[in-house]
Structure 1
Amino acid sequence: MENVILTIHLILALLLIGVVLLQRSEGGGLGMGGGGGAISARGAANALTKLTWILASAFIVTSLTLTILAARNADGSVVDQIGGTAPAQAPAAPAPLGSDLLPPTTTDAPLAPPRADLPAEGSVPAPAAPAAGN
């Protein structure tokens, strides 16, 4: 049922676009050209105006019908579907503006165990022992 109404709704939308584009901006309808014919310029404008009102009314009716059908089929709100619980903790405060442009500090460096073949940081290496032959 919903698919049928949706199809009618889309067809009405396309027809409404076409009818509106056929009308002249001065309100003259299809009154361009000189032929008298069965439909005069004024008659064409009245016919297009009436057709526009009919299509617009039908479009609104199908819109309301689709809304009612969607509301009946809904299980609840989107918040209810995803859990609806508030976050357990407040989000962290954002970093100050421009802090990502500063060079890294020693506290930003990753911690790694000291290597045995390198002297400890801040220590002065021991002087080499003198040669035994002197």
Structure 2
Amino acid sequence: MEQVVLIVHLILALFLIVVVLLQRSEGGALGMGGGGGGGLVSSRGAATALTKATWAIATAFIVTSLTLTVLAAQNRGASAVIEAGETPAAPPSQDGLPFTPQLPNLGGSTGGDGPATPPPAE
């Protein structure tokens, strides 16, 4: 099921790219077409048809995106797409123990858990 939706999603993405590139831009710089009237479909009718096609393909693309998200969440075993209160785990350190950040020693003490003692004044 997920593979079928994914294939349809990819085909819709390609169609959406093509339909958007076929539309005539407002500035006329990158649009295909233009010039000369004639033909069975007027330029205004073609623009309306391309706009409707763009909306239809974009809507289908969004629906397949949401469907793929829900299917992925179900396959993962989650009850919701975003689990509430879920926090990412800290990366393990090289020795296998949990990562604890080390603060730099600014010259006050040589270690230990007590407060830093200032260096003796001369």
Q: 1:17 corresponds to which letter in structure 2?
A: I
Q: Which moved more, 1:1-10 or 1:68-77?
A: 68-77
Pair 1:93-2:103 in alignment: yes
CA pair 11-89 structure 1, distance change in 2 beyond 3 A: closer
Pair 1:46-2:39 in alignment: no
Structure 2 CA distance for aligned equivalents of residues 52 and 94 of structure 1: 57
Q: Gaps spanning 5+ residues in structure 2: where?
A: 92-96, 107-122
Work out whether residues 5 and 68 of structure 2, in 8 Å CA contact, stay in contact via their aligned partners in 1.
Answer: yes
Counterpart position of 2:16: 16
Work out whether residues 16 and 52 of structure 1, in 8 Å CA contact, stay in contact via their aligned partners in 2.
Answer: yes
- The CA deviation at 1:45 is 0.2
Query: Could you say which structure has the larger radius of gyration?
Result: 1
Q: Which moved more, 1:57-66 or 1:18-27?
A: 18-27
- The CA deviation at 1:75 is 3.5
Partner SS state of residue 25, structure 2: coil
CA pair 41-85 structure 1, distance change in 2 beyond 3 A: closer
Q: 2:34 corresponds to which letter in structure 1?
A: M
Q: Gaps spanning 5+ residues in structure 1: where?
A: 97-134
Q: Which runs of 4+ in 1 moved over 3 A?
A: 27-31, 84-89
Q: Which moved more, 1:60-69 or 1:28-37?
A: 28-37
Aligned length: 92
- Please provide the CA RMSD for this pair: 3.1
- Aligned positions of 1:1-134 closer than 5 A: 1-26=1-26, 32-76=34-78, 84=89, 88=98, 90-94=100-104
Partner SS state of residue 26, structure 1: coil
CA pair 85-16 structure 1, distance change in 2 beyond 3 A: closer
Q: Tell me the alpha carbon deviations over residues 74-108 of structure 1, each in whole angstroms, 9 at most, x when there is no partner.
A: 1457xx8x9x4797562212477xxxxxxxxxxxx
TM-score, length-scaled by structure 1: 0.57
